[in-house]
Structure formats: structure tokens, C-alpha cells
Structure 1
Amino acid sequence: MSQSWKSLWKSECGKSIPIYRVLVPESVNQGVIRAWNARGYRYTAGAPSAIMLTGGMRRNFFRSSVLFKGGTGAGAAVTAGFAAPGGLALLSGFADAALTFGAFGGVTAVGTGVFAAVTGPKYLRDPKRLSRKNRRKVGQAQWITPVALGFLPGRKEGRDTDEQRLFHLAVTIARKIVRTRAWTHPILRDHVSRVDLDHAVASIGVRLTELVKLREEIESIRDAGTEKSVETYLSKLALAFTSMADRVLSMHEYYERLTELDQQLMLLHNSERSRELGDRVLDVLSRTAADDSADWQFRELRIDAESQSSVISGLVAELEQTADDFDDFDSRLAAAQETLDELEPTPSSAPSRQKDDRPSD
């Protein structure tokens, strides 16, 4: 990989403020994911806009919920409103008034029951609904944010970390990947060369978060007696960080392959469109001028689609190799993580502050 991650970060996102909130898919279950998808929430790593967590993500606030809960709540309130005066009238000896209030209360109670019987099943079967168990799961969802990676905004008190910059680059690449034509094209649907983008980006974020926390704990025990050990530990962390940087660079290479495939898909589309237009022109000529020489003339003018098809097949094969290389970093990272676990020092309660080394614009 000829390009370093720092130069790529400077060119792609070095002058932009990091704004992202990426979900770790393994932190919630599939029921939560299905409900969020039904609501249209954009929480994936490749979402084209900034992803912000809202309180509504853990609540059932949508049409069927409002109808069921609002209607039954209002009906219960009205029923109670008639029941209270009726009870007072009965205690006061006004039997006729008590019967009147009781009759109205009974009517509203029956109406509320019918309304609940109609709207309740719709709400319970609504794909947007989160069960009580899933609402608790949403509260435990894990998100990768700039702050979690050591970023603090501001000119004087602000700071940044290499881990945050690297993950910002990964998020930027992911957003570019999902905007390519090839990413949503049928040629890559269920294809081996299509990586699990959410899992890939989230796994990078989780590992980088661990590196940030562990480095701060290591720095907090630095003194004259532990200087040598601290430097050894930090060198091991640098190896793990390099592995993650290689993973992000491989992700960028995957994006470049997709852009090459985009160009070939556009040529293929234009060539197929040219054939269609040529056939239509030939049909018009055959029904009007009856020009026998028009057929071979248009055959020479058409763009041959077979050449684009062969190029696309070759690019898809290269994408498979790139995706395999991208996934191979998981095994390397696991080996590096085992080494870190063996060398992890005793945590300290006083993390050190990291100097802001973010380059000026």
C-alpha cells in the first residue's frame, strides 16, 4: 500500500470536524435492528449524513402507538371522570344522578374497550414496535463517537488522537462506498466480494477505542521507575495500531476497485442503450426507407457490450481478492490483541491528557 493513512486522512477529511455516531451491531439484537429499519433510522456506518442518537430510538412513538395508547388513555380518563361523580352522588343519596353517571361511564368504558380491541392488535403487530425487553437493549447499545476515541473540540482545551483520525477516515471511506453505483448494483448482490461494511467499520472502532483507553492507562503510570516498561507497552500498541491502519487502507483499496467497476458499469449501460437505440432506428428505417445497407452501417457504429462484460468480470474477480485481503486483517488483529492482553498493565485511576497534535488548517 503505497499511500500512508495520514496523507489519506489529510486529503479525505483532515479539514472537516469529525461528526459520526456508529453503532456496534453486536451490541443490540436483530429485533431492535428490524424496528429501527422499519422506522427509517439511518444508523449504519455508511449513512450519507451525520448520525445522531435521539431519545425516540428507545421509545415507541409512531402512529399506531399514539392511536392505541392515546385513545385508550383518553377513554380511561373519561370513564373515570364519569365514575367519580357517580360514586359521590351514590354516597350522597342521589340514586338517579348516580345511575345517570354510571350509564355514561359504562358507555365510555365499552367504547374504550372496543377501540382498544381494534387498535391494540395493530400496535402489537407493528414492525416499528420495540418490546419491553428490546427497549432495555436499546439502552445498552454501544456507539463509536469522536469523544470515545479521545477527541475534544476547542482551540485551547481541544485535543485529537491518531485513533480518532483513523476512524474518521474509515467512516468517510464507508460513506463513499455506499454511494458507488456498484455497491447497489445487482452484479454485487449476494456476491462474495461485498463486505459487511457495518461490521467492518464497527470492529475497527471497537479496537481503536480499546487502544485509546489502554494507552491513557499506560501513560498514567509513567515515572522514573516504569519508563522502560511504558515505552515497551506503547511500542506494542503501535503494532496493533499499524494493523488497524493497514485495514483502513485496504478498505480504501476496496473503494477504488468499486469506482473502477462503476466506470465499466456505465460503459456497459451506455453500450446496451446504444444497441437498443440502434435497433429502434433500424426498425424505423425498415418501415420507411427500406435501406438494405443501413443494417451493417449501424452494426459498425454500435458499442460492443461484450468487451465491457469481460472487463467487469475481471474487476469482480479482483474485488474478491481485495475483500479477502481486507478480511485477513481480522486474524492479524486477533493475534495482536492476544499480545496486548498478556502485556496489559495494572489500570490507574488518573488518565493523562494527550497533547493536541492536530495539524492546523
Structure 2
Amino acid sequence: MSQSWKSLWKSECGKAIPIYRVLVPESVNQDIMKAWNARGYRYTAGAPSAIMLTGGMRRNLFRSSVLFKGGTGTGTAVTAGFAAPGGLALLSGFADAALTFGALGGVTAVGTGVFAAVTGPKYFRDPKRLSRKNRQKVGQAQWITPASLGFQPGRKEGRDTDEQRLFHLAVAIARKIVRTRAWTHPILRDHVSRVDLDHAVASIGVRLTELVRLREEIESIRDAGTAKSVETYLSKLSVAFTSMANRVLSMHEYYERLTELDQQLMLLHNSERSRELGDRVLDVLSRTAADDSADWQFRELRIDAESQSSVISGLVAELDQTADDFDDFDSRLAAAQESIDALEPTPSSPPASKDDRSLE
């Protein structure tokens, strides 16, 4: 990893405004994500653009919901509208009017029941529907945004952080990964299934968010007496940040391997297409000119598909090794977490002066 993350950030997204909203997959259950997928919401790390439907994501605003709830609600209101005058007429002694309103109310009640029986099952089985329990859980969803990483837009009051820039780079790389031909190619079906891109990017975002918050808390206690402790704590945080930066660089290396595989897959596609076209030309010649020399000439001109296949097999093996490095996050995460945990005070912590001497 000869390239630094800052130079990579400048080349990939240095001039772009950070616009992303990445879901932490562990903050919601699979039923919620399935419903969002059915609605077409884009919330994954590799989504082409961010989605800002915070309020609408917890509501059942779709066709079957509007039809069922709107129809039954209207029918109930109409039934109540007939029942109220009928009751007043009955109390006033107008029996005929009471029977008329009662009959109309009964008809609308029956109609509402039939309508609910027809539209209700479709609504309750709709894959877009969120249950009442899941609608409550949607509010607990955790999102990684530029604001959560310390970014504030504006020329005078604006500010940015290295954590936000690093995560912006991770999102940009993730969006490039899912656009590669190799990522969706059948040759990598089993390989891609074990590289959880959303989890990897969200994990980076969660850790960077913790670093931002902890650094702000540390900076808030800086004074003449705690300056030395603050600098020591910040140096420890830089170790955790470096771990995250190496993780993003590994992610970019994985993307570069995919682009190499893309080129070979295109060559393989062209070679197979060339072979198919050559066979068709030979077939035409055999039925027209019967050129005996055409066969070996086309064999010389064709791209050898077998050799391309062997190259692709080698690239896939190298990609597996790169993915192992990319997925080897537990050890790095544990090291970063130990650095963060070491900074958190405990009830039995010694005074600040002793702590400074122990860190030295």
C-alpha cells in the first residue's frame, strides 16, 4: 500500500461534496431490510446515491396500504354517518326514518366488510409492508452520515474531519466495486457471497464515529494541567485511525483486482464472440465458396479463449487472497478497540498525575 489514503481521497472524491447515508445493518432486522428492498429504497454502501426518506421509511405508504386503509376508513365513516341520524330519529320517534338510515348503514357496513375481506389479505401479505413492531424498530436504525463524522457545510462555519474524508473515500470505493463487471459476474458468485461489503463499510463508519466523538470529548478537557494527557490520548487515537485507513486502502486494492479481472472477462467475452463469428463465417464459406484455406486462417486470427480462461482462474485466486486481507478485520478491530478502551476511564482509575506517569 504505497499510496496514502489522503492522496487517494484527493484523487477519488476531494472535489465532491460528501453525500451519503449508509445503514448499519446490525441496527435493524432482516424483515425491515426486505421491506425496504421491495420498496426500492437505496440504503446500502454501494448505492449510487443517498436516500433521505427518514420519516417515510417507517410508514406503510404504498398502493395496497392506501387502498385497504383508505377504503375501510371511508366505509367506516359512511356507516357511522348513517348510524348517527338513525339513532337520533329513533329517539325522536321517527321510526320510519330510523329504519331507513339503519338499512343504509347496514348496507355500507356489509360493503365495507366485503371490501376489507378482498383487499386485506393482499395488504397483509404485501412484501413492502412493515408490521407494527418493525415500524417501531425503524426509529432505532443507525445511519452513518457526514454530520455524524463531524462534517459541517459552509464557507465560514464549515468544517471537515479526517474521519469523514476517510469514510467518504470508503463509500466512493464501495460504489465503484458494485459497478464492476466482475462483482456481478457468475464466475464470482460464491466469492462475492463471502465479502459482505455493507457490513465492512458500516463497520468502518461506526469505528470512525466513535473516534470523532471521543476526540471531541478529549479536546474539551484540554487546559494547562491536562495538555500532556490530551496529547497522549490523541496519539493513541491516531493508532486506531491508522488501522481504519489501512482497512480502506485494502478495500481499494481489492477494487483494483476487480478491475484487472474485468479486463480479462472482457477479453474472454470477445474471444468467445470471435469464435462464434468465425464458426458462422466458415459455415457461410462451406455453403458458398468452399475455401479450403479459410479454416486455418480463422484459427490463426481467433483469440485463444482457453488461455484467457486460465488467466482468469489465476486472477480469481489472487482476488481470493486479497479478499482474505480485506476481510481480516477482526484482529485490526480488536487492536483498535483495545486502544480506545484503554482511554476510557474506569471507577478505579488513578488520579491524572499518576496516569500521566504510567503512560510515559
Normalised TM-score (structure 2): 0.94
**Residues of 2 paired with 1:146 and 1:76: CA distance?**
46
Answer yes or no: is the 8 Å Cα contact 1:251–1:326 preserved in 2.
yes
Answer yes or no: is the 8 Å Cα contact 1:82–1:102 preserved in 2.
yes
Mapping for residues 128-143 of structure 1, pairs under 5 Å: 128-143=128-143
Q: Identity percentage over the alignment? A: 92
Answer yes or no: is the 8 Å Cα contact 2:41–2:51 preserved in 1.
no
- Report the CA distance between 1:305 and its aligned residue: 0.6
**Residues of 1 paired with 2:357 and 2:202: CA distance?**
24
Are residues 192 and 47 of structure 1, via their aligned partners in 2, closer, same or farther at CA, if it must alter by over 3 Å?
closer
Deviations along 1:82-140, one digit per CA (max 9) or x if unpaired, are: 11111111111111111111111101100100110111111111111000111011100
2:252 paired residue number: 252
1:177 and 2:177 equivalent? yes
Deviations along 1:223-265, one digit per CA (max 9) or x if unpaired, are: 1221111111111100000000000000000000000000000
Are residues 351 and 207 of structure 1, via their aligned partners in 2, closer, same or farther at CA, if it must alter by over 3 Å?
farther
- Report the CA distance between 1:329 and its aligned residue: 3.2
Unaligned runs of 5+ in 1: none
**Residues of 2 paired with 1:340 and 1:355: CA distance?**
19
**Residues of 2 paired with 1:97 and 1:43: CA distance?**
58
**Residues of 1 paired with 2:287 and 2:281: CA distance?**
10
Unaligned runs of 5+ in 2: none
Normalised TM-score (structure 1): 0.94
Answer yes or no: is the 8 Å Cα contact 1:239–1:336 preserved in 2.
yes
Deviations along 1:317-337, one digit per CA (max 9) or x if unpaired, are: 111111111122331221221
State the SS of the aligned residue for 1:292: coil
Are residues 106 and 192 of structure 1, via their aligned partners in 2, closer, same or farther at CA, if it must alter by over 3 Å?
closer
Are residues 359 and 236 of structure 1, via their aligned partners in 2, closer, same or farther at CA, if it must alter by over 3 Å?
closer
**Residues of 2 paired with 1:89 and 1:349: CA distance?**
79
Moved more, 328-337 or 249-258: 328-337
**Residues of 1 paired with 2:198 and 2:357: CA distance?**
27
Answer yes or no: is the 8 Å Cα contact 1:153–1:159 preserved in 2.
yes
Are residues 359 and 188 of structure 1, via their aligned partners in 2, closer, same or farther at CA, if it must alter by over 3 Å?
farther
**Residues of 2 paired with 1:358 and 1:281: CA distance?**
83
Relative contact order higher in (CA < 8 Å, ≥ 6 apart): 1
**Residues of 2 paired with 1:358 and 1:17: CA distance?**
44
Answer yes or no: is the 8 Å Cα contact 1:193–1:316 preserved in 2.
no
Answer yes or no: is the 8 Å Cα contact 1:159–1:358 preserved in 2.
no
**Residues of 2 paired with 1:134 and 1:147: CA distance?**
26
**Residues of 2 paired with 1:290 and 1:52: CA distance?**
65
Are residues 359 and 295 of structure 1, via their aligned partners in 2, closer, same or farther at CA, if it must alter by over 3 Å?
farther
**Residues of 2 paired with 1:356 and 1:241: CA distance?**
23
